[in-house]
Amino acid sequence: MKITLAQINYHVGNFEKNSNLIIDAIRKAKNDKSDLIIFSELSLTGYPPHDLLEHRDFIEKCNDYIDLVARECRGITAIIGAPSINRKSSGKKLYNTAYLLNEGKIRDQINKSLLPTYDIFDEYRYFEPSTDFKVIDLKGKKLAITICEDLWDEQGFENEFSSSRMYSVSPMKELAKLKPDIIINISASPFAYNKTENKLRIFTDKAARYKLPVLMVNQVGANTDLIFEGNSMVIGPGGNIIDMFPAFDEHIASYELSDITDSQSDFKYQPDRIEMIYSALVLGLKDYFDKMNFPSAILGLSGGIDSAVCLCIAVKALGAQKVRALLLPSMYSSENSVEDAVDLSNKLGVRYDIINIESSYRVIIDSLSEVMKGTSPDVTEENIQARLRSLLLMSLSNKFGNILLNTSNKSETAVGYSTLYGDMAGSISVLGDVYKTDIYKLADHINKDLNIIPQSIIDKAPSAELRPDQKDTDSLPDYEVLDSLLYQYIEMQKPVSEIKGHNITRDLVKKIINQINRNEFKRYQAPPILRISSKAFGIGRRMPLVGIY
Amino acid sequence: MKITLAQINYHVGNFEKNSNLIIDAIRKAKNDKSDLIIFSELSLTGYPPHDLLEHRDFIEKCNDYIDLVARECRGITAIIGAPSINRKSSGKKLYNTAYLLNEGKIRDQINKSLLPTYDIFDEYRYFEPSTDFKVIDLKGKKLAITICEDLWDEQGFENEFSSSRMYSVSPMKELAKLKPDIIINISASPFAYNKTENKLRIFTDKAARYKLPVLMVNQVGANTDLIFEGNSMVIGPGGNIIDMFPAFDEHIASYELSDITDSQSDFKYQPDRIEMIYSALVLGLKDYFDKMNFPSAILGLSGGIDSAVCLCIAVKALGAQKVRALLLPSMYSSENSVEDAVDLSNKLGVRYDIINIESSYRVIIDSLSEVMKGTSPDVTEENIQARLRSLLLMSLSNKFGNILLNTSNKSETAVGYSTLYGDMAGSISVLGDVYKTDIYKLADHINKDLNIIPQSIIDKAPSAELRPDQKDTDSLPDYEVLDSLLYQYIEMQKPVSEIKGHNITRDLVKKIINQINRNEFKRYQAPPILRISSKAFGIGRRMPLVGIY
């Protein structure tokens, strides 16, 4: 039996495009004499469709497209992912389903049993969990078809304080009783640089445990904040990785089942963390612009490292012709900030303009003088500069259709070291899930081949340049210390008493956590953030605003 | 047996305050010789605690406070709501629990079975559903203790297209087998003006069906966007409402069980819709400021009806001394806009200041002239005015600690008739869940007793006043038509083909729905919105940004 795996970049809700991609792949697989082609979870709708699933016409339209795809399945069987209607008298309206299509129609349906409902996942919001388990006979082989989380039954929690497993059901244990010959898993498993090893182990362990080959097909590409790395896998019954699909790229390949069963090859996947993050951000940004049909991007280039790295990523993702920079110096900008920004723009071949904000700033301050009589300068005047910059950036955005990129990093977003409606503005945050210390590593990575980012940008002490001689370290600890503390609190959810490390005192922990929590109201209004970690700010982290903690 | 119901306003995560409120009520009930006092769902943490539930130290702290409250329970039994740790080897980390406290300690725990995971609810994100059902013996009576959704098993969906019931388990059916004498329901059921009747019926139906009294204790007060109306109920075994607690206010009262069983009284609750909405918004705003510990509010007073109604609500909620208005006229403001705004401020006794934005606007336009050479005025220049206003409002906010109120209504928020970082700015949106046609009704309601809002504000045609002679109807249908269409799509989730009404054509429906969807990216960055309907923008409505539909 010949089996094709199709790792494809789907666009949420775009049935026309998704079905075309699926049908093209089916036709090619048929030409290759493949018996079975496998697509990823919710491939027809794209993942995640969110509350579109609550709209009846969305589901009806989806059903029409399933029929359309099914009509292509003659002489070949396809497994595609899509929601299906729950026809029972009770339970959630839908199932998260793997459709088995052949002979021009829907032959069978397998419904997802374990519904991830944590972090960025909301599946129990829409889907009824399946409690039926069956295998599918195809050409004399029994297929155990599972949907993503169905194979993740043994995962624990980030932060364990009670039960050690999230699920009390093990779909594969049930399916094993039915003596399958092969395990298929259709996934939509988003990228997180600190989850890669864990993900590999989940699948290789299952193969080894049940002594069965595992074919895992993952979605690739980004839908808004979520980036899917692909990395679909063919695993032998010994738990050996026979083939792994590329990360962050579409790919289709076919395998003889007997080759999989016999192969002794064992691929070791040891990706470079920073390279992964870089590729993820490039794809995430590219897909955001492609799928939103945005023509071009703009960003404020300050001469600092965050906007420099962001510009390099934007140029890689969109091309220099589709990116423009705006330099917005004030009386507090250091001389070489403008020089460095111009230098970088020229090296990248990006159009830049310079608007000095000083005269506008002075008139605004003047118009406020009556109301603010008797007060002293404070953070207000700093925020006016930041908001004036975003006003000017948004003006160009409105006038020319350049979409504003937000260049804030995760460290400053965490502690609220940023101005709401000022440097927090933007259609998408490119670096909001990247800690400052990793921004430097990204800069090194970018400079490895071509020395694009001027060394003076990398070397200068981080500063918002909103008052004379301001430095980030005036109010924050060193970023090495801060980032370690933040990671332990945000990603690892450690209690205060367990957050430790070089120069991390109990007082500092309390102060920083307090700062993180006090700034929830700012992050509530932040743009979507390209997610590269297991816990990004945004829909995956839901902290109360009104809350004492 | 004497039973006390305590309808209390809790603050999320504020164990100190919540436990004090609970202990005070327990002491009072003990003095009243009450045998049992009942508090609402998750009363100790406040509802909704969101991802605080994922933090181990939060749960440990909660456990300490449960012990503290338990020590007060001597000679009286208390039922309080709090999370409890799931000690089984698998499943979610927590249960949503009703703790039965007496003799100074935890006597028993009842865990919630039906976990709402839709709209604003995310309970399966944190909690394992209980599948055990038991009654509690207290002084010879058997108590069937249920937690909120546990009695909502028979609810359908807003938009039915498959199964007609959300749940396949009926906790009360299970409990009925154990022959209870009384049904207790501890709730945290948020207000929605279009859900009141439904809510009454749920509880009266259960009482009548099982011929048992129902005691329902609901949370009152607001936590950020969610407003809880209270309206706790004592229902007789005939389904007759014996007593209903006030809406939007704390209240504690005691009842003899025999009186409840015997009473024939049947209270008819027929609240006025607009009055409910008004009271909800006043409480919502008051609690947001109280619980965030914000000193005072500011808003931009344009002379239009939205900001006028918002100002009246703010004065009612916070007092005139804690509210200030900023008038920000431009060359496009009509003469009487400023007059009307001044008039209203004076009537309300609110401090106002006037800053004409024209000079700042001209300098900004001037600083952009080089970059924008050869372009014609368009929405860019309109947005600059809106953003300049928010910059000035935020400047006062930063300087004086006045928190900015957002005054956008639901109709314009839906179709994106607003400027991101401009009039969309604010710490909280007061009217973002109120359609424009209801804003007029709120104005009439406010004017019923005292004629505060000038008639000219009510009479003038809605306009953003961002270019000469601009009217909302230049680009939008009449608000009567628009709001009907929006309600059918947003609250009722009707398919395009079923949205109907006066002057609603198929083309208009498609145009408006397209406009709603295209503006998801703006709403993603909107402030939290005080929720008064069954489907508000915000965490209860999760539509994809990158998505074709």
HEC assignment per residue over A362-383: HHHHHHHCCCCCCCCCCHHHHH
pLDDT tens-digit readout, A306-365:
999 999 999 999 999 999 999 999 999 887 899 999 999 999 999 999 999 999 999 999
Q: Is B157 in Cβ contact with A549 (below 8 Å)?
A: no
Active-site option among A112, A206, A291, A436: A112
pLDDT band of A162, cuts 50, 70, 90 = low
pLDDT recorded at residue B162: 63
pLDDT recorded at residue A159: 65
pLDDT tens-digit readout, A447-458:
997 889 999 999
Q: How far apart are CA B317 and CA A294, in angstroms?
A: 43
Q: Is A524 in Cβ contact with B421 (below 8 Å)?
A: no
Q: Is A368 in Cβ contact with B392 (below 8 Å)?
A: yes
| 3-state class (DSSP) for residue A271 | coil
Q: Is A117 in Cβ contact with B547 (below 8 Å)?
A: no
For residues A167-187, average pLDDT: 96
| The residue count for chain A | 549
Q: Is B380 in Cβ contact with A395 (below 8 Å)?
A: yes
Q: Is B54 in Cβ contact with A493 (below 8 Å)?
A: yes
| Radius of gyration over every alpha carbon of chain A, rounded to an integer in angstroms | 26
Q: How far apart are CA B110 and CA B146, in angstroms?
A: 8
pTM for this predicted structure: 0.97
Distance from CA of B367 to the nearest CA of A (A): 7
Of B14, B59, B539, Cβ closest to residue A548: B14
* Domains, in order of start, for chain B: 2-262 (3.60.110.10), 277-472+520-524 (3.40.50.620)
pLDDT tens-digit readout, A121-139:
999 999 999 999 999 999 9
Q: Which residues have CB under 8 Å from B399's CB, separation 6+?
A: A372, A375, A378, A380
Q: With CA atoms as reference, report the closest residue to A100 among A66, A129, A127.
A: A66
Q: Is A163 in Cβ contact with B546 (below 8 Å)?
A: no
Q: What are residue A223's DSSP bridge partners?
A: A226
Task: Look at the block and give the residue holding tokens 């029994």.
Answer: A142
The count of CB pairs under 8 A between chains A and B is: 316
Of A496, A542, A548, Cβ closest to residue B13: A548
Active-site option among A148, A206, A291, A436: A148
Choose from B153, B399, B493, B537 for mutation: most chain A CBs within 10 A: B399
Distance from CA of B33 to the nearest CA of A (A): 34
Residues in B closer than 8 angstroms to A523, CB to CB, are none
Decide if the complex's ipTM is over 0.90: yes
Q: How far apart are CA A304 and CA B528, in angstroms?
A: 32
Is A148 an active-site residue?
yes
Q: Which residue of B has its CA nearest to A549?
A: B13
Q: Which residue of A has its CA nearest to B161?
A: A56
Question: How is residue A196 written in tokens?
Answer: 């890669």
pLDDT band of A163, cuts 50, 70, 90 = low
Residue A189: alpha-carbon gap to chain centroid: 10
Q: How far apart are CA A42 and CA B131, in angstroms?
A: 30
Distance from CA of A469 to the nearest CA of B (A): 22
Using CA atoms, how far residue A217 sits from A38, A80, A83, B149, in Å, is 7, 11, 17, 38
pLDDT score of A528 more than 80: yes
For residues A291-307, average pLDDT: 97
Residues in B closer than 8 angstroms to A546, CB to CB, are 11-12, 222-224, 287-288, 291-292
Sheet holding A402-406, edge to edge: A351-354, A323-327, A296-300, A402-406, A428-429
Average pLDDT of the residues of chain A: 95
Q: How far apart are CA A361 and CA A359, in angstroms?
A: 5
Q: Is B541 in Cβ contact with A166 (below 8 Å)?
A: no
pLDDT recorded at residue A467: 87
Q: Which residues of chain B have pLDDT under 70?
A: 158-160, 162-163
For residues A5-11, average pLDDT: 98
Is A33 an active-site residue?
no
Q: Which residue of A has its CA nearest to B13?
A: A548
Do the beta carbons of residue A216 and residue A233 sit within 8 Å? yes
Task: Look at the block and give the residue holding tokens 């505060």.
Answer: B452
pLDDT recorded at residue B333: 87
Distance from CA of B351 to the nearest CA of A (A): 12
Of A161, A383, A547, Cβ closest to residue B398: A383
Residues in B closer than 8 angstroms to A92, CB to CB, are 163, 166
Q: Which residue of A has its CA nearest to B373?
A: A399
Of A165, A370, A527, Cβ closest to residue B90: A165
HSE-CB of B335 using CA atoms within 13 angstroms: 0
Q: Which residue of B has its CA nearest to A528?
A: B524
For residues A506-533, average pLDDT: 96
Distance from CA of B1 to the nearest CA of A (A): 37
pLDDT band of A28, cuts 50, 70, 90 = very high
Q: Is A368 in Cβ contact with B391 (below 8 Å)?
A: no
Residues in B closer than 8 angstroms to A162, CB to CB, are 85-87, 93-94
Q: Which residues of B are catalytic?
A: 41, 112, 148
Asked whether the CA dihedral B337, B341, B347, B348 is positive or negative, the reply is positive
Of A50, A118, A371, Cβ closest to residue B353: A371
Q: Which residue of B has its CA nearest to A157?
A: B93
**Residue A335, class by beta-carbon neighbours within 10 Å (0-12 exposed, 13-18 middle, 19+ buried)?**
exposed
Residues in B closer than 8 angstroms to A527, CB to CB, are 524-525
Active-site option among A2, A30, A41, A412: A41
Distance from CA of A298 to the nearest CA of B (A): 13
Do the beta carbons of residue B438 and residue B272 sit within 8 Å? no
Distance from CA of A262 to the nearest CA of B (A): 36
